Structure formats: C-alpha cells, structure tokens
Chain A
Amino acid sequence: MILWKLAFRNLRRNRRRTLLTLAAMVASSSLLILSLGVFSGMFVDMLASVTEQYSGHMVVAGKGYLDRREMHATMDQAQAVTEQASRLETFRGASPRLRSFGLLSLGDRTQPAEVLGIDPTREIQVTQLHRKLVDGRYLDPDEDHGIVLGVGLARKLRAEIGSELVFVTQAADGSIGNDLMTVRGLFDTGSVANDNGLALVPLHWLQETIALPDQLHEVAITLKDPLQAKPTAAVLAGRLDDRLEVRDWGQMLPEMAEVIASYGASTLILSMILYAAAGLGIVNTLYMSVMERTQEFGVLLAMGLHPAQVRRLVLLESTVLGVLAMVLGATLGFFLTLWMKTVGIDLSGSISSITYAGGTILPRLHAEFEFRNFWLPSLLLLVTAVLAGWLPARRAARLQPVEALRED
C-alpha cells in the first residue's frame, strides 16, 4: 500500500521526465496499433478482391470440378445446398453459378473470357460487382441476352453500353454454342484478372447456350465472418451428399492464407523492434531516477524497508508507467485506426493497385479493426515496461544502506 503511494508520487516528482517517457511509449504503441490496423485493412482488401468480387468465402461444387474446371463435372443440388448453407450460423448469401470459357468478339476484335452464368438477385448476396459499376447497369432478374463485363475487357473489345457482342464456345453436347449479347454494364474492381477477363451473364441463358439445362458448376457462399470459413466449410461438407465438396477461401487461395498467417510473426517482430527503443527509454528514465534517489533509498533501507521491497517499489513505478502507457496508447491507437478506417488516405494518384498472393492491394491506406491488433501491442508494451524496470530495480535493491546514505 505504502509502496503504491510512493511509486505514484515518485512518478509525479519529475513530471516532465515521466511525461516524456510516457509520450514515447504511447506514441510507439499507438502507431503500432495503427500500422497493424492498416495491415488488416490491406488483408481485408486483398481477401475482398477475391471473395467479394469473385469466389465468395466458400464454394460448393461437384467432386473434381474445382481442380480441373471440367465442363461436364456439373451438379444439380442447388436447392439442397442453399437450404443447408442458410442454416449455418454465419451464413450471408449463396449464389448458384455455371461457368464457361469462350471467346467474345466485337467487329474484328476477339478476346478470351470467363463467362459466369448467374442469377442476379442471388449473386448480389455473394459478390459486390454490382457496386463496382462504372457505366451502365447490372443484370436485371429477367434479363435475357444481357452481359456485364470488366472495363479492361471492354476496352480491348472497344465495347460500350449497348454494343452487341458475339459469344462463341463449345457446348456440352459437342456442338458450338453461340449467341449475341448486349452490353449492359461495365465494372471496375481494380483487380486485373477480373477487369480483363470476367463477364457476367444470366444463368438460364448460359445453361441453354452450352446445353447444360438445370445444371450448375458451383454454389458460391458468403459468410458474415470470413475468418470462420474453414470450420464452417467442414460443418457444411458434413451435411451435404458426398458427391459434393466444399472449399473455403483458404483452400482456394493458399498463398493468401499463408500471407495472412505469417502476418502474426511479422507483427511480433515489428512490435519488438519498435519496443526495443521505447524500452531503452524507460530503462534510462528509471536509472536516472534511481541514481538521483540513492540517498533516499539509503534512508528507506535504514528505516527497515527490505531490499525486496525496494526492488518492488522500482518495478511498481515501471509497471504503473507501463499500464498508463498501455491504456493511453490503446485509446489513441483506437482513434487513429478509426480515423484511418473512416477517412483513410487515397494513393491512387501516385500508385496503382498491386496484385499479390492472388489478391489485389488497392492503392489506398485504409484500416480495419481486429482485436488482436490491440491486445498484442498493449501486452507487449506492458511486458517491455516491466522488463525495463528490472535492471534499475535490481540496482536499487542491491544498495548498501551506509554507502547510499553517504552519497551526495
């Protein structure tokens, strides 16, 4: 009790020095929290570039389809899959799809494209392409010959809204499937793969064109919490018939899963580098204050304070400093992250988007909240403060009362 009182008052004694040390600690932890938030934002962007623009968080398909994308490996259990999926705890939406690879032409220009047959009302529960339109409109529910495609693809074809494209591909029955499509809208996602090679068409139209009536290739599913995809996929797989398989985004994008997993280690290393500096600052502050108080420690020891209590006193001072810095740093870090999440910094003037590990990093600084971005830096800061107090504390505890008293 008396030690607490002494510790608090000692910290207030040299207010400026304490505040400076505190400021350094708060700055390092809040900036660390902010940068982790920006990393999280980057990962969310990367993940979203794939899951929200194309794959969803999980995909259900006939066994074998996902590895080879072989046209005939179809499924027809759309009803059952949707029903089971909608019972999942974090379920958000499911979209049945049929896929075809073929050629799109306009005049004398031809481009290869991935054409995805979708049900517009279902697809908007899974991907966000309808929000990325830069021209025209999305597919209507009763659309017949409409097509929505990426801006890159449109540019190469010199297509615009209302252009008539010819789609040619091989149908399931061996015939050549072809038809005329009217361009309804253009999307710009920032992801090169999507913008240059993806087109959306009505599901029933594609089923007819490639002679796969009532057949699907996959059902894409989104969840409220993408980080739950792996366990949820396992649960769903158990409830579906065994001609189907379920993959989560981690399995579809192993590289990205790895990047996100290795982020934990990077966080730790980054924190330690930052805190090494802050830690030295605390060591210095406490050493100075211990040296200045040598005579006082002599009096305390002569009064009957045990050396162990002297050590505890100094450790208490560093711990109080650490806890204060932890609370202030987390608070400041919270507001910085909030600011970076709501306002952010647009970098599209100076850099363009980068494709990395199968995802797209958007040219912006933008933060996302994640609980671990707070507790990890905070806890490490406290540990740093306590460790930094250790050496000065040991020195104070080893003082000989007579020598300490003689000090001037």
Chain B
Amino acid sequence: MALIELEKICKTYRSGNLHVPALVDLDLQVDTGEFTALAGPSGSGKTTALNLIGCIDQPTSGRLRIDGRNVADQTVPQLSDFRLYQIGFIFQSYNLIPVLTAEENAEFVLMLQGMRPEERQQRVRPLLERLGLGGLENRRPSDLSGGQQQRVAVARAMAARPKVILADEPTANLDSSTARELLELMRELNRDEGMTFLFSSHDPLVLEHAGRVVRLQDGHLVGDERKDG
C-alpha cells in the first residue's frame, strides 16, 4: 500500500463566477522513502497538490488517502493532529515564527506534541549541527540568512520524524549554491533516515537531485519518470 494515494483528484478554485481548474483528475501514488519532485511551469497546480496532500486544503472531488486513512473522513481537530504527527511542512518563505529563536522554531512541533525539554534538545541539537546551524541556536529568524532560515525550517519539519515532508519550492528564494547545499542535505536525510520527501519546483537543479519527477501541466499529470539510485 502506498503512503500517499491520490485518486481522480480535482480541485477547482472559484473566484467570482470564474472557475479555475487547478487540478484535473490527478492520479498519483507516493511510497515511503521516495524523494519525489513535482515539476511544472507556474500555475500548473504544484502548490495546490501539496496543500491537498498536506491536509490544509480540501479537494473538490476525488479521493485522498494518506497512510491508509481517507482524509475526507477526518474532523478539523483530527486533521490538525494528523499534520502535527504525520506531516512536515517547508514553505517557500515566511516559514518561521519570528518571535522564537532558531532552536525554539526547530523544536516547535515537538513542543506542540508535548515532548519534555531534555528530550527535545537531544533530538534537535544534532539535527541543527548537521544542518550547519551549530552556534546559531539562539538567533531570531530576522538575524539569519535566507538559506539558514530554510535549514531551520528543514530541521523543524524533520525533528518530529513525520511520515512525509512536503516542501513547496524550498529553494526558490535561495542562490544556487545555497540551494544545492540544502538539496544535498535533504537527499542525505532521505537516504539515512528513510524519510519521504515530496517537493515542488521548476528549478532544473532541484529536478536533478530528485529520485522521481512527476510533471504537471494545467492541472494534468503529463509525465512520471523514476531515476535509479
């Protein structure tokens, strides 16, 4: 059984009496441990797909199952808990809580889960080290560079060891060498920890690193290639 299953998913936005079909009959399966990129030009539906999978938006029709559970059957608090325990988010920008330090941001999900401080630190400190953030634990996001902020976001998403990490254009605001570093890091974590990554990008650099590239165009699935290794 696949970790994520999309079955004939449609998402239509209504603005006024204008109907914008963002996703049309999308069928997609993602297995545990994949490092998959959603590719496609601007407006092709990448963000929409990630939002649906992340349970922060609802499809207009179709069926979405994650870890065997039908998302449409969940109540609002259940969905919150589901996001808290099973999903890690990395957004393009504005990821971090400005009033919390880098370490507190990285610990945030664990705090919400109610983990004890020592345990949290044991979990987060090595992660920050590994992400090259050692020594920056007490800085506020405003005192970190864009690349450092994104790495804190990666640490936060990973700290809780969710089933899947969803990253919407995580490198869009980074210069290419920082972007490459971040990608290699995520790839490493994917290999070492077996964590599933699903991210969106139209950046060729990102697609290079992906183990599988799913191509979208105007809300339709137009390609699905797997690389070996």
- Whether a CB of chain B sits under 8 angstroms from the CB of A305 is yes
Q: Which chain A residue lies CB-closest to B110?
A: A2
The answer to whether B80 touches A307, judged by C-beta atoms less than 8 angstroms apart, is: yes
**B interface residues, how many (CB within 8 angstroms):** 28
The tally of residues in A whose CB lies under 8 Å from a CB in B reads 24
Q: Which of these, B99, B104, B109, contacts A304 with CB under 8 Å?
A: B109
Q: Does B81 contact A (CB under 8 A)?
A: yes
Q: Is the CB of B98 within 8 A of A303?
A: no
A302:B84 contact, CB within 8 angstroms: no
Please tell me if B188 contacts chain A, counting CB pairs below 8 Å.
no
Please report the C-alpha to C-alpha distance between residue A13 and residue B104 in the assembled complex, in whole angstroms. Answer: 16
Do A299 and B80 touch (CB < 8 A)?
Answer: no
In chain A between 391 and 407, which residues have their CB closer than 8 angstroms to a CB of chain B? 400-402, 405
Of A2, A302, A307, most B-chain CB atoms within 10 Å: A302
Choice from A296, A302, A306, A405 contacting B77 with Cβ under 8 Å: A306
Residues in A neighbouring B109, C-beta threshold 8 A: 303-304
Chain A residues, Cβ within 8 Å of B205: none
Query: B72 to chain A: which residues have CB within 8 Å?
Result: none
Residue of A nearest to B113 (CB): A304
Are A10 and B56 neighbours in the complex by a CB distance under 8 Å?
no
**Segment 83-115 of B: residues with Cβ below 8 Å from A:** 83-85, 87, 89, 91, 94-100, 104, 108-109, 111-112
- Please give the distance in Å from A383's CB to the nearest CB on chain B: 27
A300 within 8 Å of B (CB atoms): yes
In contact, A9 and B83 (Cβ under 8 angstroms): no
CB-nearest residue of chain B to A293: B98
Tell me if B51 counts as interface (CB < 8 A to partner A).
yes
Q: Is A301 among interface residues, defined by CB-CB distance under 8 A?
A: yes
Question: Contact at B98–A1, with CB atoms within 8 Å?
Answer: no
CB < 8 Å: which of A6, A9, A306 contacts B80? A306
Q: Does A295 contact B (CB under 8 A)?
A: yes
Contact of B94 with A302 in the complex, beta carbons under 8 Å:
no
List, in ascending order, chain B residues with CB within 8 A of A2's CB.
Answer: 108, 111-112
Q: Are B56 and A402 in contact (CB under 8 A)?
A: yes
- A302-B54, A303-B84, A306-B80 known; A1 and B97 CB under 8 Å? no
How far in angstroms is the closest Cβ of chain B from A407?
10
Give chain A nearest CB distance to B30 CB in angstroms: 19
Nearest-neighbour CB distance to chain A for B190, whole angstroms, equals 21
CB distance from B42 to the nearest CB of A (A): 15
Contact with B along A1-26 (1 / 0, CB 8 A): 11001100110110000000000000
Instruction: Known contacts A1-B111, A299-B91, A401-B56; decide if A305 and B80 are in contact (CB<8 Å).
Output: yes
Closest Cβ of chain A to B164, distance in Å, is: 13
Q: What string of 1s and 0s marks CB contacts (under 8 Å) between B45-56 and chain A?
A: 000000100101
B114 to chain A, nearest CB (A): 9
Residues 95-137 of B, flagged 1 when their CB comes within 8 A of A and 0 if not, give 1111110001000110110000000000000000000000000
- Indicate if the CB atoms of B83 and A304 lie closer than 8 Å: yes
Which residues of B lie under 8 Å from residue A400 when comparing CB positions?
57
